[in-house]
Amino acid sequence: MAKNHDSLAKEIIEKLGGPANISRIFHCATRLRVQLVNRDAADLEEVKKIAGVMGAIDSVGGVQVIIGNDVNKVFDAALALYPDMERGENTDENLDENTDEKQNIFSKLLNVLSSLIGPAIPLIMVSGLLTAVLTILTKWAGLSAESTTYTILNVAANCALYFLPIYIAYTAAKKFGTDVMISLFIGAFMIHPEIIGLGDQGAFVSLFGLPVKTANYTSTLIPIILSIWALKYVEKLSAKIVPDSIKFVFRPFLTVLLMIPLTLCVTGPIGSYCGDLLNTVMTSINSVAPWASVLVIGCLAPLLVLTGMHFALIPLVFMEFATVGYDNMLFNAFIGMNFSQFGVALAAFLKTKNPNLKELAGSCAVTAFLAGVTEPTLYGICLRMKKPLYATWIACIANAVFCAIFGVKVFSFGAPSFFTMPIFMNPDGTMSNFYLAIAAAALTIAVAFAATWILGFDDSVYGKEN
């Protein structure tokens, strides 16, 4: 059934209080994300009833309307109908503070992490897939590790993580309202080879007598986030000190001059120590009970996705890749989350006689299996009929137990799906972990399918007309 994206966008905006009530609008893979001026003016229950909307939830940083694979078309239609909403990219820098006024500190933190990391994740996943492809080429296609082809592909595979501070500097500049070019400069400055090379001279060096903790800031998140947050206030200070008549050159000059010691002596080291602490905690847990982390995260996976809290775990994954070379707590746990949605959707597709649910479930099954995108099934099927959500939880727990027992690991960054299964291939050439990951996916699908079929569901919520 073809969708009228213009009418869908118009109806959503009207139910959210009209364009005047929307201060920022953007989208991710499946969700339309909206920040509202007045939350009370929006009626989420009415939004949920709109044909073409799979669900709507309050979340950190605003409201999320689940559309599915057509979200970009609805987003484009909304901006075409109400072009003034595009100003969300350039809203007042205090907007986020006003929007989040009623949120607790933890919610604000999740909002920041989501907005900063989210745009970079697709590129990081591409790098992860390139790493997996490189493993396949060297193992089965005879590609030599000494060849220039290998070198070039390896650089491409490592590029996103290596230069992560620069990418996060850009998203942080958008989030905190700082100068984009200065923010990128700081990100590049922190990972300059000679700054990294200072570590050869000891744990601390001197900058005009100030102690500088030497650290390798490549592939890190917290140091650059803290630095760009601090830049926001340094820029305000520079604006007060430097007269308007010479601001074009001397405000950036003063800002950079102040940010160099602030970054190397304060924000960078604080972020580095935070990362070291998190890494120590996770290393301790993994050394004592390596099964514990994946078991806990796997059991909580549906809740993490529903609330957007899974973004908060991404920094830990980066640290795992940087220190031990693999992830044994998040992406292996999400074998259960991603493949369970295929099992649920497939069971719903085969069991239902409702044409609306059958059409939705067929689309959801393909999306979850091939791309690892779970939101259409989670919001469009599980939350609407409830019992499939129980089936999801059962499958996630089954996968978590399996991964905990057999120690399944992920060697490249990526969300588990049919096309991304090579992320489970060990670079050393052994295949046991890859076969275990396939077994975990098969187990998850079987459990989710069986649980959905046995528990049943009420598909009357989808109506009867196609």
Which DSSP string do the residues of 141-197 spell out, in sequence order?
S---TTSHHHHHHHHHHHHHHHTHHHHHHHHHHHHHT--HHHHHHHHHHHT-HHHHH
Calculate ∠ Cα 304-320-337, nearest 5°.
30
| Active-site annotation holds for 28 | yes
**SS3 of 321-355:** HHHCCCECCCCCCHHHHHHHHHHHHHHHHHHCCCH
Distance CA(379)–CA(393), nearest Å, equals 14
* Annotated catalytic residue, options 28, 364, 382, 403: 28
Closest C-alpha among 341, 356, 351 to residue 52:
356
Residue 53 near residue 9, CB atoms below 8 Å: no
Place of tokens 């897939």: 129
Distance CA(341)–CA(378), nearest Å, equals 7
Here the tokens at position 372 are 């690892």
Q: How far is CA 253 from the centre of its chain?
A: 34
Place of tokens 């229950």: 45
Helix (H) or strand (E) holding 123: helix 121-140
Distance CA(172)–CA(170), nearest Å, equals 5
Distance CA(273)–CA(266), nearest Å, equals 11
Q: Which residues pair with 33 in a beta bridge?
A: 26, 64
Q: Residues for the chain: how many in total?
A: 466
Q: Which residues pair with 11 in a beta bridge?
A: none
Closest C-alpha among 347, 438, 457 to residue 399:
438
Helices (H) and strands (E) counted in the chain, each on its own, are 21, 6
Residue 124 near residue 34, CB atoms below 8 Å: no
Identity at 26, one-letter amino acid code:
F
Kindly provide the b/e burial profile for residues 58-71, where b requires at least 16 CB atoms within 10 angstroms of the residue's own CB.
ebbbbbbbbbbbeb
Give the residue numbers annotated as catalytic, written as ranges.
28
